[in-house]
Amino acid sequence: MSNCFVRQCKSPSMTNLSYPEKPVRQLSEAEARNELGELAIRLARADYDYHTRGEPDLEDAEYDRLKQRNRDIEAAWPRLKRPDSPSDRVGAPGSGAFAKVVHRVRMLSLDNAFTEEDVRNFDSRVRSHLGLADAQPLTYLAEPKIDGLSLSLRYEACALVQAATRGDGEVGEDVTANALMIADIPATLPESAPQLLEVRGEVYMSHEDFEELNARQQARGEKTFANPRNAAAGSLRQLDARITASRPLRFFAYALGEVSEQLADSQSRAVRELRSHGFAVNDLNRTCMGADGMIERYREIELRRGELGYDIDGVVYKVDDLALQSRLGARSTTPRWATAHKLPSETAFTRIRDIEIQVGRTGALSPVARLEPVTVGGVRVSNATLHNEDYIKGRSGDGGLIREGRDIRVGDRVEVYRAGDVIPKVLDVDISARPEKSAPYAFPETCPECDSPAVREEGDSVTRCTGGMGCPAQAVERLKHFVSRGAFDIEGLGAKQVEQFYEWGWIEEPADIFELEKGRGNELADKFGWREKSAANLFAAIQVRKRIAFQRLIFALGIRHVGESASALLAGHYGKFESLVASIDAMESMEGEKWDELTGIDGIGDVMARSVLEAFRGESRRALDRLVSVLDEVVDAERPDVASSPFAGKTVVFTGTLERMTRKEAKTRAEAAGARVSGSVSVRTDLVVAGAGAGSKARKAATLGVEIIDEDEWLARIDSGN
């Protein structure tokens, strides 16, 4: 890596900071003083982004490198150490949105080790402090360092009375209501637990849950998260605990704070005791002997990193004996008895050979970097996503700077990032290695597949082809989606077959699939080399799918913003496909009774509703009508038997804070009784259930003369069926 290449972080004043990275021993006193000032600003901003905003912009590896350089300069020039030195700081103050909590036992940070030599030095320092010879046995506990959000749980008389974030180590934020929504965190402990027990651990989100959450967010037209750590932090620090309850948060316990009595005499046994009290603890925790044992365990965990299903950024070593921990004590911000051996960041540097545009099923033009192949995180990578036009230009969707405004060009030397199964992406550009004659990348104004104009609507970060089904790329991608799992799921008809059939002119829109046997049955064996039985199996699989569930049909259409969950909402509300079509046909504009009904479905907002409307207009409607004409049946949405229910067909709105049930539970029970749950009040609303703090919806209901009842009355009615 060039000495001139440094990823820069925006300071609180948004001032661009830069300095030449000379070796520390070559710095003059003035240079050292200036660099310490810049590092203090950059690291303070990074701490604020990580601990207060919950949205870090600086990669962990770069943060660690900058903090180490700050320590190295301070060691060389001790009299220049600043009063606000990052070396003396843990975390950052809270946001002010939550009540403050003073940690009775400080939540310290950890010193870092980056090499095997660092680990051996840590072991030597511990032994020196304790007066132990190198040959004397010394046991450590090694555990994965979870990349999440630190949390402290305080139990008194076996009940959770307070949960607090780390904050700056001394003062955190009270997130008790939210912590109680996490399944891994017990609300009460067994009677055998100490009267006072403070448990510390990490809130995190698995890769699978993160992907599902982002899919739901995108389907609702809401903000998606950059990574699992940001998602976990943002979900825990919600002012409405019900939002936290809807997020798939998890928790690993790994340490103790204040206790009325010790659970055990060692760290490893104390953690096992926490498991017996109902806490989730990491299965990879192991004791090991000395420096060699720690390094061996590090290598074992490093090999398993990609298969864990959650993010880790290192391995933490702790002296196992708690009495020895007490003797070792702590420095101002870090304990002497523990260190974090950081895993290498899953990044690598390579060159961009070309930038190509891929066109998706909704017309989105997605730029992809074609790379000189490089191994990243043990995987050979030759492509990386560039997201959109703004990302290439070095700007975010709101106009802010990415990479301090450095753009991405063909020929650039770039840093590529990959974590787990995440698609590789370009993080930064080495400007010092940029070819002299390079030119900024010009994003296309027309679709590279069909030459239709490519437009970017106001407020949208994506440029889209306007060619619709006339664009070959969109047509193929929509057909692939149509036959995918969750949609028509036609066995034997995958992406490869769809591409080939489209190229031959056999299928251009979904209805053509169901007429393949009639028009092309005899040619399949000749052109594709299929055996007669294979062709027969394909046609049989297609025939089976001529009968399709309402919600699967909606999902198969590939409507922008409408995923599987939204498809189920639409099907559940309208019941019959014909009812949805009739309602949309009755809409002359995006207003009126039918529009209010569509947007009033809980979980369907204006953005999604507009997409649904567009999918039932123009050429898309013609293709849809033709598809329905070749199907045998669109099966009505399943509904509970509510013939005797007084709520059957009624539209119910829940507003305010429900105290005896969650909003999700209320919705489920209402729908089970045959009611339709809406997110807004209109003349079609039959009943409003008003909880504590009900506001504008209750007032509107009163104005319209809609019946309003409280939560207790609702439960009494739903339980009695009256």
Q: What amino acid positions are annotated as catalytic residues?
A: 145
Q: Give the integer Cα–Cα distance in Å for 163 and 166.
A: 10
User: 67-94: b or e for each residue (b if 16 or more CB lie within 10 Å)?
Assistant: bebbbebbeebeebbeeebbbebbbbbb
Q: Which amino acid is at 279?
A: F
Token pair 């004409």 in the structure block, residue:
629
Under 8 Å between Cβ of 266 and 322: yes
Give the CA count within 13 Å in the CB-facing half-sphere of 686. 13
In sequence order, the 6+-apart residues with CB closer than 8 A to the CB of 540 are none
Q: Could you say which DSSP state residue 663 is in?
A: H
Give whole-number Cα distances, 257 to 85, 155, 290, 400, in Å: 26, 11, 26, 40
Q: Give the integer Cα–Cα distance in Å for 167 and 174.
A: 10
Q: Are strands 676-678 and 651-655 parallel, antiparallel or unpaired?
A: parallel
Q: Which two tokens stand for residue 450?
A: 């069909």
Q: Give the integer Cα–Cα distance in Å for 318 and 141.
A: 5
Q: Which two tokens stand for residue 62?
A: 């770069």
Q: Give the integer Cα–Cα distance in Å for 85 and 39.
A: 9
Q: Give the integer Cα–Cα distance in Å for 323 and 584.
A: 72
Under 8 Å between Cβ of 149 and 232: yes
Q: Which amino acid is at 502?
A: Y
In DSSP notation, 635-660 reads EPPP----TT-TTTT-EEEEESB-SS
Q: Which two tokens stand for residue 475?
A: 């047509």
Q: Which two tokens stand for residue 338?
A: 């523990």
Under 8 Å between Cβ of 138 and 319: yes
- Which among 253, 258, 248 is positioned nearest to 278, based on CA atoms? 253
State CA 423 to chain mean position distance. Answer: 13
User: 3-state class of 355 per DSSP?
Assistant: strand
- Measured between its terminal Cα atoms, the distance across the chain in Å is 73
Name the region of 465 (left: φ>0; alpha: ψ -120 to 50; beta: rest). beta
State CA 475 to chain mean position distance. Answer: 29
Q: Give the integer Cα–Cα distance in Å for 351 and 580.
A: 51
| Alpha-helical runs (H) found in 440-545 | 472-482, 495-503, 510-513, 516-528, 532-544
Q: Which two tokens stand for residue 54?
A: 């919950």
Q: Which two tokens stand for residue 422?
A: 């995440």
Q: Give the integer Cα–Cα distance in Å for 76 and 495.
A: 61
Q: How many CB atoms neighbour CB 518 within 10 A?
A: 8
User: 398-429: b or e for each residue (b if 16 or more CB lie within 10 Å)?
Assistant: eeeebbbebbbbbbbbbbbbbbbebebbbbbb
- Which among 471, 479, 378 is positioned nearest to 419, based on CA atoms? 378
Token pair 């090499």 in the structure block, residue:
115
User: 297-319: b or e for each residue (b if 16 or more CB lie within 10 Å)?
Assistant: bbeebbeebeebebbbbbbbbbb
Q: Give the integer Cα–Cα distance in Å for 523 and 516.
A: 10
